[in-house]
Amino acid sequence: MKRNRLRAAAPLALGLALSTLLFNPVMNAQSQTAPAGQQDQQKTQVFVGKVVKIPDGRFALVTDEQAGKGVYLDDQEKAKGFEGKNVKVTGTLEVAKNLVHVSDIQLA
């Protein structure tokens, strides 16, 4: 009887775990920090991942789905056209906000 309950609960638990990952991909900030003095002179970087729409309606880039890591994207109009697609985003990372100032988005 107990085993049947556990078997019935397993898909639910898995579903909850996956939905947490998908709906909260960008809450875990990437550990990229610029050394002191370089924060004013941010360098352009390339970020690769999947564009997703998060629950608050904004678009973000999931860079590591398993770890739940990603970044917010400042150009929502550009990101909107790539929802659900794997892309390369070129831009500068504002570490304090975990926000990429997008200069370009292309399909990966």
User: pLDDT digits over 28-49, tens only?
Assistant: 444 444 454 454 457 999 999 9
* DSSP string for residues in 15-54: HHHHHHHHHSTTSB-----PPTT-SSSPPPEEEEEEEEE-
Query: How many structural domains is the chain composed of?
Result: 1
CATH code, domain with 21: 2.40.50
pLDDT digits (tens, 9 = 90+) for 3-32: 555 444 444 333 333 334 444 544 444 444
Task: Determine the pLDDT at residue 29.
Answer: 43
CB 87 within 8 A of CB 108: yes
Domain that holds residue 90: 2-107
pLDDT score for 41? 58
* pTM of the model as a whole: 0.63
Q: Which pair of structure tokens corresponds to residue 20?
A: 């947490």
